[in-house]
Amino acid sequence: MHTKAVARFFYANVPGLAAARFAAKDFVATYAAKPEFAGVSRLSIGDGLIVDVGANRGQSIGAFRRFAPKARIAAFEPEPASVERLKARHGGHPAITVHGCALAAASGEMTLFVPRYGHWHCDGMPATDYAAATDWLRDPGRMFAYDETKLTVEEHAVECRTLDSFGLAPQLVKLHAQGAELEILNGARETMERHRPALMVAFVSDEVHRLLDSWGYRPYDYRDGQFRAGMAERPRTFTWYLTRDHSR
């Protein structure tokens, strides 16, 4: 049994353990970011804008501030508890803006599903689809001794907007949205066409890959200090998508 699956068992069964674990992870996030984030330092971002979609607890913000210290950051996160945490930690920073809404293909309102498993509030797994919010926990490779009776799901009505509606000019967009990446990109067509930002996309689906390919983006795996053509391989989470101009 994978040690992470056993650790999650204890998160669910020991009160306060998950909160302590993730608070410690938040503290070291700037210095222990996923290795893919180091690719940010290879871009000429300067004081340009990074759009962080799926900001969660602020792990990506910490990494971006490390690898692009002068950049401005627009963070998007719909999960209410995470939004309050982000505002408390980063709301006073002049270069960071926190938007407490979901991004989608059209503006309106949607239901956000947030699972809780025993004592573990799974605020890193919210999704706009019930199955997407719960199937991850049900995978026996991820959760030791899974017990359906310990699973509850909160429902939150949240505002959703298109990225295009914000009129931003990003140089980099990070997408990690629990399966909503295609919808978000469909609401960002004008932004993508006008500004051609680099992208970091988590767990790329075939549909997302085909769309980005049609827009002239090619996939790269950042490892060993280099962008290498092709999709990212586990344990890396993010595949980079770059245009010909980025490659040059």
Q: Which tens digit of pLDDT belongs to each residue from 139-148?
A: 878 888 899 9
Q: What is residue 37's predicted lDDT score, i.e. its pLDDT?
A: 95
Q: Tell me the mean pLDDT in the region 185-192.
A: 98
Give phi and psi for 73, each to the nearest 5: -130, 130
The separation between CA 207 and the C-alpha centre of its own chain, rounded to angstroms, equals 18
pLDDT at 51 over 70: yes
- Burial class of residue 179 (count of CB atoms within 10 Å of its CB; 0-12, 13-18, 19+): middle
Q: What is residue 143's predicted lDDT score, i.e. its pLDDT?
A: 86
Beta-bridge partners for 102: 160
CATH number of 3-247: 3.40.50.150
CA neighbours closer than 13 Å in the CB half-sphere of residue 18: 19
pLDDT at 28 over 70: no
pTM: 0.89
Q: What is residue 31's predicted lDDT score, i.e. its pLDDT?
A: 66
Q: What is residue 179's predicted lDDT score, i.e. its pLDDT?
A: 87
Q: Of residues 7 and 218, which shows the higher confidence score?
A: 218
Task: Name the pLDDT band for 30 (thresholds 50, 70, 90).
Answer: low
pLDDT at 29 over 70: no
Strand order in the sheet with 108-117: 102-103, 151-161, 108-117, 120-121
Q: What SS3 string covers the chain?
A: CCHHHHHHHHHHHCCCHHHHHHHHHHHHCCCCCCHHHHHHHHCCCCCCEEEEECCCCCHHHHHHHHHCCCCEEEEECCCHHHHHHHHHHHCCCCCEEEECCEECCCCEEEEEEEEEECCEECCCCCECCHHHHHHHHHCCCCCCCCCHHHEEEEEEEEEEECHHHHCCCEEEEEECCCCCHHHHHHCCHHHHHHHCCEEEEECCCHHHHHHHHHCCCEEEEEECCEEEECCCCCCCCEEEEECHHHHC
Give phi and psi for 16, each to the nearest 5: 85, -15
Give phi and psi for 126, each to the nearest 5: -65, 150
- Where are the chain's structural domains? 3-247
**Among the listed residues 146, 23, 158, the one whose alpha carbon sits nearest the alpha carbon of residue 88:** 23
Q: What is residue 149's predicted lDDT score, i.e. its pLDDT?
A: 93
Average pLDDT, the chain: 91
Most confident of 94-98, 126-130, 222-226: 94-98
Q: What is residue 227's predicted lDDT score, i.e. its pLDDT?
A: 95
